[in-house]
Structure 1
Amino acid sequence: MPNARMLAAGSVLLGLALIPPPALAQDAARMEAIERQLRSLQSELARLRREAATARQEAERSRTEVRETQRRLDTAPPPAALAAVPPPAPPPDTGRVTFPNNRPTFTSADGRFSASLGGQFQYDIGGYLRDAPGNPNNRGVRDLDSFGQNLRRGRLLFGFRYDDFTFNITPDFGGSPDGSPTLYEANFNWNPIRPLTLTLGYFKPWVTLQDSMSSNDFLFLERPSIVEIARNIAAGDGRSSLGGRWAANRWFASAYLTGANYGGNSTAQGIPDQTGGVARIAGRPYADPDIDVHLGLSGNYAFDIRRTSTGQTLQLRDRAELRIDQSRLIDTGSLPADHAYAWGPEFGLRWRNFLLQGEYIHIGVEQARAGAAPRPDLGFEGGYVEGSWVLTGEPRLYTSSAAAFARPKPAHPFSLAEGGWGAWEVMARYSVADLNDKVRRGQAQATTGGVFGGRQEVVGLGLSWYPNNLLRFMLNWDIVNVDRLNPAGTTQIGQRFHTLALRTQLAF
């Protein structure tokens, strides 16, 4: 491309062409000088072109060298120092903490592991109301404490789950009476398929409707006496168990082989040891948002009764549906027994915020034969019916995992700021337990082989206040009538009295 000098030279030549000849002659020296400048400019332009071509060749050579160097770096192994440096660590797995059913639960980020903590606190205060011992309405000879207190249950619930496996352990610092910490459960569970749960360890096997309810959900402070007596034949708290349950939405089935209770082997091992079995089947033939109908049947059987220092014996007894005083007013004493069993049907009906439920239970004892003394098989029976009406309208909903009814959840928790008053519930119950069999008034039980264990009737009324889902205050008033003769069949040793007790409960 022509540069500025070349353009200037062209302009000069054009100007010279227009000058007259005389003027050209005069400027010959100047023209020669201009030509020399043009030749110099052309030489300079050629040099610049040569230098640009050389620069392009150098640049291409440099790019080729860079590409070759990069290729060698990409294919060469890393230096030993760099190879030893570990890759950056992944971010920590922090997991998460949630509160299902108000229970603090830690769950890993991948959801495979969880650990939960629960608690149960039940503190009872109450006592007995009765006339002077000489009054005909107070026929007993035993002294009952007039007032007392008891930490009925003080449990810490620890649960650990990994995939389909769960471990539960629950120590209990309460009791009947309190003061002797024990173990409520320690068991290993596996859920191979839903809704099947297999269990091994110390456990409370599912038996009867009342015993399948959580103790946080009872209508009254204690189970009816006939249920308490029957469940301890081969079930009850802390019973060594192996078995499983199938808990679907509309029906429930469970079966377990059982052994001794926790602590039962603290003395010399019994021969034979306690062995038995427990089974329950229940379901809801009809259910809708307003109605739940429950029907069921359960039983437990002791194949072998644990042998003690006094022989292979079984004792059936219970307190007056209260644990403030530890007196047991119905008691068969030690019965020489080879086997024992209990069975009974159960029913329940919920209509909106009203609940009615009950059970009949039969207990059988196969006495061990020895010598000429009469030892017939014995049969005892009892039952209960109880009802609940939640004044504030909340229902006692059905729990499929236990095939039983749970306590109401307040729709408006207690709050002075927001005006909520929690849930209020009134309850009533009639229960009977008859431990008399093969006996007649005025005739000693030794002559027939029967037993004057006594007949106990309890009429109870109750009021519960649920400020929120964690707290409950329950007031129970029971009218108790125990009709019992001494072993000779001649003297009344029963009692009539009232009980009044308040329970403060915290559960999560």
Structure 2
Amino acid sequence: MTLRNILLAGTALGAAALLSGPAFAATSAQAELNALKAQIEALQKKIDDVEIQHGNKIKSLEERKSDVEVSLNNGRPVFKTADGNFSFGITGRAHLDVGAYDQDAASAANFGGLRGNANFRRARVGLNGTFAKDFGYNIEFNFGDSGTESNARIYEVLLTYNGIENTQLVLGATKPKMTLDDSTSSNDITFIERATAVNLAITPAAGEARMTAGGTYNTDNFFGGLYYTMGSAAAGGGLDDYDSSNVVGRLAYATSPKEGLNVHIGASGSHSFNVPADTIRFRDRPELRVDPLRYIDANFVGTADAVSVYGPELALNYGPFRAQGEYYIYDISRNGVLADASFDAWYLQASWILTGESYRYDIKKAAYSGVRPANPFGFGKGGSGAWEIAARYSEADLNDASAGIAGGEQEIITVGLNWYANNNLRFMLNYLNVDVKNRGGVVNPNFGHDAVALRTQFAF
């Protein structure tokens, strides 16, 4: 081989080596890229599989959404099915009263010392809700009492039917909606106790836990209620001894229940026509029940044959101002040759929310609902709550000379200051001036006292 051929061959081999190097590198890099791509595709497939699996589980959970919805509105626990056909809630209220009295000498001579005290006027626990959508129920027990606490007793055990528009039918042990003030919840009344006129009006036929059948109907402006009632579910003994027969009715019209100036006009009445011999007695504590003593008392035990109670009710509210009053006549027919008796009682009250909130009116019960503070106290916000001032004049006359009854004439002036801390908590401060005249059966027929009381109220 010549030198020339050797050089040509070496050049060719070198060129081949130079050309084969990049090609080999390119082939190796492509292989690595292909392998990496394959790994990425495999990883993506795994991710897709995971997403599909979790997506299916989430979809399954969504499809199997819980049948029960739980809420805690204003601290009240409520359990409700998703279809709205069944619900179950827990309610409670506690009214703790503390009070003191300053008696005049005549009052102390007649009754001894009134007892300043602290007691739970009400301590209730209840269960309520709906079933089969159109039916409602409420079961409530009260552990509080007037002047002292008590064992649990029935306050209400009630079944309602709401399947007819604007109508509610009721059956059970309940408190019929008679009078304006008594149709207002004890959580929402303006003073610590309702006026004597109202307490006397519900005595024969419409007190708490009455065995009741009836119902209510309302439109946007009209309310009507009609009930048949018997004795209290808490009464002992048999039906023949304790159950009266009563008809209770109430009508009301409100000009503008939802906003603006609202004028409420109404009337309530009851008639008891099968009166047990030992049940009719018109008496009431002097609009404070820290001490259980009653000042006025018209006793018809063993003499009453029939009782009728009737009278008008009038109220108005406009923004933070409200006024209301009621007047009732009590007619008692007595058996034998005893003369019939007739009494009357009334009250007038007014109130103003200093912090500017508006009073709320509920046409479904033709009565007022509670004050809701615009800036509630608590919840870490430091609000002031709502403040309200109120005054009431109350008069009751249980004297009827023609019938030989001297139950007494009572006049009470009450001034109140209420602080609605939030929707659950309220404090009520009341000052009362009580004056009783012409009361029979006591040494001093004219007497009275002053009283101061504070209520701490919690409800949910």
**In structure 1, how many angstroms separate the alpha carbons of the residues matched to 2:65 and 2:77?**
22
Q: In the alignment, is the contact (CA less than 8 A) between 1:256 and 1:278 conserved in 2?
A: yes
For residue 144 of structure 1, what is the aligned residue in structure 2?
113
Q: In the alignment, which of 175, 186, 197 is matched to residue 226 of structure 1?
A: 197
**In structure 2, how many angstroms separate the alpha carbons of the residues matched to 1:392 and 1:147?**
32
Q: In the alignment, which of 399, 404, 416 is matched to residue 462 of structure 1?
A: 416
Which secondary structure state, in structure 2, belongs to the residue aligned with residue 210 of structure 1? Answer: coil
Which secondary structure state, in structure 1, belongs to the residue aligned with residue 248 of structure 2? Answer: strand
For residue 493 of structure 1, what is the aligned residue in structure 2?
445
For residue 387 of structure 2, what is the aligned residue in structure 1?
424
For residue 237 of structure 2, what is the aligned residue in structure 1?
267
Report the TM-score, using the length of structure 2 for normalisation: 0.82
For residue 296 of structure 1, what is the aligned residue in structure 2?
266
1:108 aligns with 2:78: no
What amino acid is aligned across from residue 168 of structure 1 in structure 2?
N
Which secondary structure state, in structure 2, belongs to the residue aligned with residue 226 of structure 1? Answer: helix
- Quote the offset at 1:432 in angstroms: 0.6
Q: In the alignment, which of 225, 250, 253 is matched to residue 280 of structure 1?
A: 250
What amino acid is aligned across from residue 265 of structure 2 in structure 1?
L
Q: Deviations over 1:366-394 (max 9, x none)?
A: 01115xxxx21111001000111000001
Distance 1:146 1:118, change over 3 A: same
For residue 331 of structure 1, what is the aligned residue in structure 2?
297
What amino acid is aligned across from residue 210 of structure 1 in structure 2?
D
Q: In the alignment, is the contact (CA less than 8 A) between 1:330 and 1:484 conserved in 2?
A: no
Q: In the alignment, is the contact (CA less than 8 A) between 2:326 and 2:346 conserved in 1?
A: yes
1:476 aligns with 2:426: no
**In structure 2, how many angstroms separate the alpha carbons of the residues matched to 1:271 and 1:326?**
26
**In structure 2, how many angstroms separate the alpha carbons of the residues matched to 1:387 and 1:378?**
32
Q: In the alignment, is the contact (CA less than 8 A) between 1:382 and 1:434 conserved in 2?
A: yes
Structure 2: segments with no counterpart, 5+ residues: 1-59
**In structure 1, how many angstroms separate the alpha carbons of the residues matched to 2:370 and 2:243?**
38
**In structure 2, how many angstroms separate the alpha carbons of the residues matched to 1:169 and 1:409?**
26
**In structure 2, how many angstroms separate the alpha carbons of the residues matched to 1:93 and 1:178?**
42
Q: In the alignment, is the contact (CA less than 8 A) between 1:473 and 1:502 conserved in 2?
A: yes
Q: Deviations over 1:414-442 (max 9, x none)?
A: 149534110000010000111001x1xxx
**In structure 2, how many angstroms separate the alpha carbons of the residues matched to 1:287 and 1:109?**
32
For residue 212 of structure 2, what is the aligned residue in structure 1?
241
Q: In the alignment, is the contact (CA less than 8 A) between 1:140 and 1:494 conserved in 2?
A: no
Q: Deviations over 1:280-320 (max 9, x none)?
A: 01011345623111010110111111234xxxx52111111
Which secondary structure state, in structure 2, belongs to the residue aligned with residue 325 of structure 1? Answer: coil
Q: In the alignment, is the contact (CA less than 8 A) between 1:175 and 1:181 conserved in 2?
A: no
What amino acid is aligned across from residue 363 of structure 2 in structure 1?
S
Q: In the alignment, is the contact (CA less than 8 A) between 2:171 and 2:213 conserved in 1?
A: yes
**In structure 1, how many angstroms separate the alpha carbons of the residues matched to 2:114 and 2:286?**
13
For residue 6 of structure 1, what is the aligned residue in structure 2?
none
Q: Deviations over 1:101-160 (max 9, x none)?
A: 5422111122211101111110000121134x26xxx57511233410121111112113
Q: In the alignment, is the contact (CA less than 8 A) between 2:399 and 2:409 conserved in 1?
A: yes
- Quote the offset at 1:268 in angstroms: 4.3
What amino acid is aligned across from residue 457 of structure 2 in structure 1?
Q
Q: Deviations over 1:331-390 (max 9, x none)?
A: 0123411100101100111111000000011110001115xxxx2111100100011100
- Quote the offset at 1:227 in angstroms: 0.8
**In structure 1, how many angstroms separate the alpha carbons of the residues matched to 2:153 and 2:407?**
29
**In structure 2, how many angstroms separate the alpha carbons of the residues matched to 1:139 and 1:376?**
33
For residue 507 of structure 1, what is the aligned residue in structure 2?
459
1:395 aligns with 2:342: no
What amino acid is aligned across from residue 77 of structure 2 in structure 1?
P
**In structure 2, how many angstroms separate the alpha carbons of the residues matched to 1:283 and 1:449?**
36
- Quote the offset at 1:190 in angstroms: 0.6
For residue 452 of structure 1, what is the aligned residue in structure 2?
406
What amino acid is aligned across from residue 502 of structure 1 in structure 2?
L
Q: In the alignment, is the contact (CA less than 8 A) between 2:254 and 2:363 conserved in 1?
A: no
| Residue pairs, 1:304-453, within 5 angstroms | 304-308=274-278, 314-335=280-301, 336-370=303-337, 375-415=338-378, 418-437=381-400, 439=401, 449-453=403-407
Q: In the alignment, is the contact (CA less than 8 A) between 1:398 and 1:406 conserved in 2?
A: yes
For residue 226 of structure 2, what is the aligned residue in structure 1?
255
- Quote the offset at 1:269 in angstroms: 4.0
Q: In the alignment, is the contact (CA less than 8 A) between 1:139 and 1:496 conserved in 2?
A: no
The range that moved more, 118-127 or 96-105, is: 96-105
Q: In the alignment, which of 80, 93, 96 is matched to residue 69 of structure 2?
A: 96
- Quote the offset at 1:477 in angstroms: 0.4
**In structure 1, how many angstroms separate the alpha carbons of the residues matched to 2:161 and 2:103?**
51
Q: In the alignment, which of 148, 169, 176 is matched to residue 198 of structure 1?
A: 169
For these two proteins, the number of residue pairs brought into alignment is: 397
Structure 1: segments with no counterpart, 5+ residues: 1-87, 440-447
Q: In the alignment, is the contact (CA less than 8 A) between 1:376 and 1:449 conserved in 2?
A: yes
| Residue pairs, 1:23-62, within 5 angstroms | none
**In structure 2, how many angstroms separate the alpha carbons of the residues matched to 1:504 and 1:280?**
32
Q: In the alignment, is the contact (CA less than 8 A) between 1:139 and 1:493 conserved in 2?
A: no
Q: In the alignment, is the contact (CA less than 8 A) between 1:273 and 1:307 conserved in 2?
A: no
**In structure 2, how many angstroms separate the alpha carbons of the residues matched to 1:465 and 1:272?**
42
Q: In the alignment, which of 116, 120, 124 is matched to residue 155 of structure 1?
A: 124
Report the TM-score, using the length of structure 1 for normalisation: 0.75
What amino acid is aligned across from residue 269 of structure 2 in structure 1?
G
**In structure 1, how many angstroms separate the alpha carbons of the residues matched to 2:165 and 2:217?**
8
**In structure 2, how many angstroms separate the alpha carbons of the residues matched to 1:140 and 1:294?**
44
- Quote the offset at 1:167 in angstroms: 1.5
For residue 6 of structure 2, what is the aligned residue in structure 1?
none
Q: In the alignment, is the contact (CA less than 8 A) between 1:140 and 1:493 conserved in 2?
A: no
Identity %: 37
Q: Deviations over 1:83-116 (max 9, x none)?
A: xxxxx99837441112345422111122211101
What amino acid is aligned across from residue 82 of structure 2 in structure 1?
A
- Quote the offset at 1:180 in angstroms: 3.0
Which secondary structure state, in structure 1, belongs to the residue aligned with residue 181 of structure 2? Answer: helix
Which secondary structure state, in structure 2, belongs to the residue aligned with residue 141 of structure 1? Answer: helix
